[in-house]
């Protein structure tokens, strides 16, 4: 399951971030923001009609991500 598929207010754990190539800036930035293996994450809110952005909480910090970015964060069940 990915972060983009996670139902609202369902706690989960980050498994990994998909890295497309060696110089993948988006994957690097997601990891810098705290999307690392073992970190608790949940979707706080979604834009109406399934659009962008998705408000996610990692630890005690909240971020607004595009669906395409959230789809790169792989999860395991909490």
Residue 59: the pLDDT is: 87
Residue 51: the pLDDT is: 84
- Say if 6 falls within a structural domain: no
Contact yes or no for 32/47 (Cβ under 8 A): no
The CATH number linked to 38 is: 2.30.30.90
- Say if 65 falls within a structural domain: yes
Q: What is the pTM of this model?
A: 0.90
Token pair in block for residue 35: 């999307």
Token pair in block for residue 41: 């994450």
- Say if 57 falls within a structural domain: yes
Rounded to whole angstroms, the Cα distance separating 48 from 54 reads 10
Query: Which residues are 75's β-sheet partners?
Result: 14
Over range 14-24, report the average pLDDT.
92
Q: What percentage of the chain exceeds 90 in pLDDT?
A: 82
Neighbours of 26 (CB within 10 A): 15
Token pair in block for residue 52: 């962008």
Residue 6: the pLDDT is: 94
- Say if 3 falls within a structural domain: no
Domain that holds residue 59: 12-77
């Amino acid at each position: 399951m990915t972060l983009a598929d996670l139902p609202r207010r369902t706690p989960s754990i980050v498994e990994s971030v998909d890295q497309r190539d060696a110089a993948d800036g988006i994957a690097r930035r997601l990891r810098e923001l705290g999307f690392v293996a073992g970190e608790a994450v949940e979707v706080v809110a979604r834009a109406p009609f399934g659009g962008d952005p998705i408000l996610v909480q990692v630890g005690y910090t909240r971020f607004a991500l595009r669906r395409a970015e959230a789809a790169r964060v792989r999860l395991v069940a909490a």
